[in-house]
Amino acid sequence: MNTYLKNQPPARQFVTFLGLAAGFFLLNIALSSFFFQGLSEALTDKTTTISADTIAKFKWAQLFSSTIIFVAPALLFAYFSSPNMLPYVGMQKHFSFTLLIFCVLLLFGVQPFVSWLGSMNAKIHFGSMQKELLQMEELYNRAIQTFLKMNSPLDLVINLFIMALLPAIGEELFFRGALQKVLLRMSEKPWLAILISSVVFALLHGTFFKVLPIFTLGLLLGTVYYFTRNLWYTIIIHFLNNAFAVLSVYYGSKSSFLQKLNDDKLVVPLYAALFSFVVLVTIIYMMKRKSDEVLPAYLTDDNNLTPD
């Protein structure tokens, strides 16, 4: 049917997606202000002890926000775009075990480089905005610390779902499956689509003092998606990255290495960062070669990332 967005001009696809994203963002604000009143005040007031009930509400708020802001607009965009809505946004049925192994190696191989970028990012001074950004960063860290308080294995499982699995699926659908795809169709330049979607990905995380490593992760995920045309690989990388952060907090008291990592006190020398970058580029190249072998077996016009 010509009414599907995939048959419409790229600019119309882009405007439609922006409209969906903005609409669900405003809906989330409205629902949050109604159902989750007082959470912001609880986080900003340093004199009060955050209760278990407030933490539970905070987790419910995170669950609803991730679903409404990222999952809903991406899936609705896919529904309007193609009769094969899930393949259209990259959720393929076919899977390569070799590429899965590359994903795991890629995640661990890039960590020293990302950690080094994080240490460089922390030294950046933002001039007249420094004080306000530090206040935002303090609120961000307080929210994360509150959320990641875990007293039992059940708390760990809940946090792995809300902080690792759900964001991995939702953000990959939104940023790679929908935004990067529509940007590519509009610009016909893969590097530009990956760059812009990665910038948006980094900025929406709300922390300027970690924007470089988050942006780098976005570039990595965008590149993997472009080469593999399969969103499941980026979801796996994203999930493992988030899960490692949750697990490092849970087991942090049992390891000095994890404690330094959680406190951003782990020092990565430049030579380790450069070696990590070389490993990153090598694995990406190997993934591209393997993807070139796999793609012709299942790629269709509906899920192709190249412009129509």
> What's the rounded Cα separation, in Å, for the pair 121 and 141?
16
Domain assignment present for 307: no
Report residue 3: phi and psi, to 5°. -75, -15
> What's the rounded Cα separation, in Å, for the pair 237 and 242?
9
Domain assignment present for 304: no
Contact residues for 160 (Cβ-Cβ < 8 A; gap 6+): 243, 246, 247
Quote the tokens at residue 244: 């490692």
Structural domain for 96, as ranges: 5-297
Q: How many residues does the chain have?
A: 308
Number of domains in the chain: 1
Q: Which stretches of the chain are DSSP H helices?
A: 10-35, 39-44, 52-66, 72-81, 85-88, 97-122, 130-147, 153-159, 166-171, 181-187, 190-203, 211-228, 231-250, 256-262, 270-294
Domain assignment present for 305: no
Domain assignment present for 240: yes
Domain assignment present for 253: yes
pLDDT tens for each residue of the chain, 308 residues long: 577 888 899 999 999 999 999 999 999 989 888 777 766 666 666 666 666 777 777 888 888 999 999 999 999 999 999 998 999 999 988 888 999 999 999 999 999 999 999 989 988 888 888 888 888 777 777 777 777 777 888 989 999 999 999 999 999 999 999 999 999 999 989 999 999 999 999 998 878 888 999 999 999 999 999 999 999 999 999 999 999 888 888 887 677 766 766 666 678 899 999 999 999 999 999 999 988 887 755 554 444 444 33
